[in-house]
Amino acid sequence: MTDGLFRVAAVQMVSAGDVAANLAQAATLLDAATADGARLVLLPEYFGIIGARATDKVAARERDGDGPQQSFLAAAARRHGIWVVGGSVPLACDDPVRVRSACLVYGPDGQRVARYDKIHLFAFAQGDESYDETRTIEPGSLPVAIELPCGRVGLSICYDLRFPELYRALGTPALILAPAAFTATTGAAHWHLLLRARAVENQCYVLAAAQGGLHPGERRTYGHSALVDPWGRIVAERDEEGPGVVVGDVDAARLASVRAQLPALAHRTLPRG
C-alpha cells in the first residue's frame, strides 16, 4: 500500500449467454479499472455467463484449472500486474447436472491464490419469478480468507450476504468481497442494507461487484455495485444499470480509527447456557 491506501475496483456487468462476448466486455472494464489505479479488481457473480436457462452455466462448466474463464482471469492479472477476482466460475463437480460456483483469486503473476465455493444457495419465489440454485449448483462448505497487501480479505458470493455467521468465521478481515447477481426485486429491498450491515458488524470495507440490467430469459438484476467503509458509509457506487466500474480506496488509517473509537470486535463474546 502507498500511504496506507489500497485502490480497489468493482466491475458491474450485464452478462448474457455468450462466454466470449462476456469476457470481451469484462476485459474492457478491467482496462478502465486499472487505468484508474486499481490494484485489485472484482468481477461480478456469473461474469462469464448468464444464459436464458439456469442449466446453461452447467453446459459452460470448466475443469478446475482449465478453461476460457480461468485462462482469462489469469491472463488479465498477469497483463496488468494486479489481483483479479472472478466473482464466480462454474467448475465441474462429481454431480454431472450441477457445478461448483467458485470465486477465484489470481495474483499479479497470474497464479491462482484462492478458491471459494459458494456455500449458501439462493432460492426465491414470487409470482412468475422463481429461482432455486440447488438444482444446478453443489454447495461448498469451507469459508476462505487470504492475506493481501491491504490485509485479510474474506471471500463470499451473493446470497452469502444474508448469513453473518459466515463472515465471523473469516477472522477479522480488512476487506470483504461480495460479487453478486441480486435480482431487481431482492436488490431493491435488501442490497444496501446487507452491504452496510456486513461492513458495520465486521468493521471492515465491503467491495460488491454486481450484475445490473436485463439478461436472457427476462431476468433483471439490481446492479448498484459499491464500496462501503467500516462505518457503513457508501464511499463509491454505480447508481444505475449497465456496465461500469466503481473505484475506491481501502484506507488502513480509516480501519484503525473506526476500530479504536468503537472497539466492538474486541467486545465479542459467545452467549452461555
What are 130-141's pLDDT values in tens digits? 889 999 999 999
Confidence of residue 2 (pLDDT cuts 50, 70, 90): low
φ and ψ at residue 245, rounded to 5 degrees: -135, 135
**Domain membership flag for residue 92:** yes
Q: Give the mean pLDDT of 49-64.
A: 97
Which position among 45, 133, 237, 241 bears the catalytic label? 45
Catalytic residue among 62, 133, 150, 158: 158
Residue 182, in any domain of the structure = yes
On whether residue 272 sits in a domain, the answer given is no
pLDDT at 127: 86
Structurally, the chain folds into a number of domains equal to 1
127: Cβ–Cβ under 8 A, 6 or more apart, which residues? none
What CATH number is given to the structural domain containing 187? 3.60.110.10
| 22 vs 37: CA distance, rounded Å | 23
β-strands 175-177, 205-208 pairing = parallel
What pLDDT was estimated at residue 1? 57
Confidence of residue 272 (pLDDT cuts 50, 70, 90): confident
Q: Which domain holds residue 45?
A: 5-267
How far apart are the C-alpha atoms of 99 and 94, rounded to whole Å? 8
- pLDDT band at 53; cut points 50, 70, 90: very high
Residue 273 lies in a domain: no
Tell me, what's the pLDDT at 25? 97
The answer to whether residue 158 is catalytic is: yes
What pLDDT sits at residue 113? Answer: 98
Q: Assign residue 78 a region: left if phi > 0, alpha if psi is -120 to 50, beta otherwise?
A: alpha
Q: Taking the model in full, what pTM does it have?
A: 0.97
Q: Let me know if residue 259 belongs to a domain.
A: yes
Task: Please identify which of the residues 103, 118, 133, 204 carries the catalytic annotation.
Answer: 118
